[in-house]
Chains A and B, each alone.
Chain A
Amino acid sequence: MIRLTTSALALAIAGTASMSHAAEFDVAITNVTAGVFFTPLLVSAHSDGQSMFMAGATASAELQAMAEGGDISGLATALSGAGAVNAENPAGGLLSPGATTEVTLNTDNASDNTYLSIVAMMLPTNDGFVALNQWKIPSEPGVYPVALNAYDAGTEANDEVLGSGAPGEAGFPAPPPVAATIGTNGTGIDASVEGYVHIHRGVTGDADTEGGQSDIDLSHRWLNPVAKVVVTVK
């Protein structure tokens, strides 16, 4: 379910409704981490009342599916059903560390779609995701850089071992080329489900590729921000 954020408590940039809007704009997304991959990105221009998540609140089932397995279909359907303009998977697969993808969104036919949100799962993590949440799209033509942080969906324990991408199942998926960067046979970190969306505390990892506490490697660590977005309003 897509959460309606009418509350002033929403951790979002709430503003007064704007009469003018940006009809067409480019969104360039760069993965600025050293060793984390982004699964297919969902880029959405939507109205004031829509959001994919709220920090401090429980994740929706659609957000959980994205954060644990990279499946953006539920979020995309819910947003487009409410009139949003989406770009799905602009990178055509995983966005590697250091790589950039660019997409043009045109909201000509829906003048309410003045907010931009972006999400993708971060691999290898259990339920970590990169996000831009309810960013007001400027109406003035210009080039606008934004830094994106990593969130934890709070739906899966961060055990850091290879496992499943299905919602509710332990471990993280590792499609190629992620598989080649991770360890195996980790004993797993004793972590628990947090229960609410929050800023990700990072991964622990270890230097042991054939065991140890984690299948995540030290090369997969990050600090915020994890992505750079440049929005060009034409």
Chain B
Amino acid sequence: MTIQQTSLILCAAAVLTACGGKDSDPEMATFEVAVTNLTAAQPLSPMTLAVASPDWSLFELAEPASVALEQIAESGDNSALLAELEGNAQVMKSISGTGIVMPGMTATFEISVPESDLDQASLSAVTMLVNTNDALTAVRGVALDAIELGGSVHQSMAAYDAGTESNNEFAATIPGPAAGGEGFSAERDDSDRILVHPGVIGVLGGRADSVLGEEHRFDNPVAGIVITRTE
């Protein structure tokens, strides 16, 4: 049950001097990143991965979401975030998944970073739980230089509420297959802070006007990520 999504980027356009040389190619460190959807019925939107400076952060808890992050959280559309990442000097690489990651499935990616830049390479990833109003799951800033060749790190991924859209669970406001409603809306009618998600309720849970069934509920972790250094 594995989707292969390989994106090998040998040299990002935006970066560092070590990348330019024709004569001496830099020694590369290569990582395999595997993200598994651990929910019962929450497909994940195409993943967005970023390798960036440890000083950069995808988001801060209890702070408002950027508009680019709001777009992922409400519609799964990562194009605005990808554009932002490519224009950011602190970001070494950005990668987009090619498709939805269904429940129980694993998406894998390959990332190569010049070994000389490893101390400035931390991995972040984000995706939407599509049968929700504005739930995200993410990892933020996993240090790649801490992973030895052949070794791996595993992290659990919690669900966050982007706080940009009311969790009304209406059919008209949830874009996933459970509803087919609206995706992004510029209006912010919730807490406007990114917090740990309280979960969805659904009809059987007692919210009579919810479009969600009991199968759409989730608990943490909603996904797991394994980063393995292969070269």
**Docked-complex contact B104 and A194, CB < 8 angstroms:** yes
**Docked-complex contact A194 and B154, CB < 8 angstroms:** no
Cβ–Cβ < 8 Å partners of B215 in chain A: 191-192, 201
**Docked-complex contact A16 and B151, CB < 8 angstroms:** yes
Q: A16-B148, A16-B151, A198-B103 are in contact. List 9 more A-B contacts (CB 8 A).
A: A11-B154, A12-B154, A56-B38, A158-B214, A189-B214, A199-B222, A201-B215, A204-B204, A213-B204
Known: A11-B36, A204-B205. A199 touches B1 (CB 8 A): no
**CB-contact partner of A9 in B34, B216, B217, under 8 A:** B34
What CA separation (Å) do A191 and B148 show in the bound complex?
44
Q: Which A34-84 residues have C-beta < 8 A from chain B? A: 55-57
B contacts with A, residue count (CB < 8 A): 37
**Docked-complex contact A9 and B2, CB < 8 angstroms:** yes
Closest to A14 in B: B152
**Docked-complex contact B154 and A13, CB < 8 angstroms:** yes
**CB-contact partner of B36 in A15, A55, A158, A200, under 8 A:** A55
Known: A8-B34, A189-B214. A199 touches B154 (CB 8 A): no
**Docked-complex contact B218 and A55, CB < 8 angstroms:** no
Chain A nearest CB, measured from B79 CB (Å):
28
Q: Which B6-49 residues have C-beta < 8 A from chain A? A: 32, 34, 36-41
Chain B nearest CB, measured from A174 CB (Å):
20
What CA separation (Å) do A10 and B36 show in the bound complex?
10
Instruction: How many A-B residue pairs have C-beta atoms within 8 angstroms? Tell me.
Output: 96
Cβ–Cβ < 8 Å partners of B205 in chain A: 204
What CA separation (Å) do A189 and B205 show in the bound complex?
11
Can you list, as one digit per residue, whether each of B186-226 has a CB less than 8 Å from chain A (1) or not (0)?
00000000000001001011000000001111111110101
Q: Which A1-20 residues have C-beta < 8 A from chain B? A: 8-16
**CB-contact partner of A8 in B204, B219, B226, under 8 A:** B226
**Docked-complex contact A204 and B214, CB < 8 angstroms:** yes
**Docked-complex contact B103 and A202, CB < 8 angstroms:** no
What CA separation (Å) do A12 and B148 show in the bound complex?
16
**CB-contact partner of A201 in B1, B40, B228, B230, under 8 A:** B40
B contacts, CB < 8 Å to A: 1-2, 32, 34, 36-41, 103-106, 108, 148, 150-152, 154, 199, 202, 204-205, 214-222, 224, 226, 228, 230
Known: A199-B220, A204-B214. A194 touches B226 (CB 8 A): no
Main secondary structure of the interface of A (DSSP, over half): loop
Cβ–Cβ < 8 Å partners of A194 in chain B: 40, 103-104
A contacts, CB < 8 Å to B: 8-16, 55-57, 149-150, 152, 154, 158, 189, 191-192, 194-196, 198-202, 204, 213, 223-224
Closest to A222 in B: B219
Cβ–Cβ < 8 Å partners of B222 in chain A: 199
**Docked-complex contact A9 and B104, CB < 8 angstroms:** no
What CA separation (Å) do A194 and B215 show in the bound complex?
10
Chain B nearest CB, measured from A223 CB (Å):
6
What CA separation (Å) do A224 and B228 show in the bound complex?
27
Known: A56-B105, A56-B106. A202 touches B36 (CB 8 A): no
Known: A9-B108, A196-B1. A202 touches B151 (CB 8 A): no
**Docked-complex contact A224 and B154, CB < 8 angstroms:** no
The residue among A15, A191, A199, A213 with the most chain B CB atoms within 10 A of its own CB is A199
Cβ–Cβ < 8 Å partners of B216 in chain A: 201
Chain A nearest CB, measured from B215 CB (Å):
6
Chain B nearest CB, measured from A160 CB (Å):
9
Chain B nearest CB, measured from A140 CB (Å):
18
Closest to A194 in B: B40
Cβ–Cβ < 8 Å partners of A152 in chain B: 40
Cβ–Cβ < 8 Å partners of A191 in chain B: 214-215
Cβ–Cβ < 8 Å partners of A196 in chain B: 1, 103-104
**Docked-complex contact A200 and B34, CB < 8 angstroms:** no
**Docked-complex contact B219 and A199, CB < 8 angstroms:** yes
Known: A13-B154, A191-B214. A201 touches B219 (CB 8 A): yes
**CB-contact partner of B151 in A15, A57, A195, A213, under 8 A:** A15
What CA separation (Å) do A200 and B41 show in the bound complex?
11
What CA separation (Å) do A26 and B216 show in the bound complex?
38
Chain B nearest CB, measured from A24 CB (Å):
27
Cβ–Cβ < 8 Å partners of B220 in chain A: 149, 199, 223-224
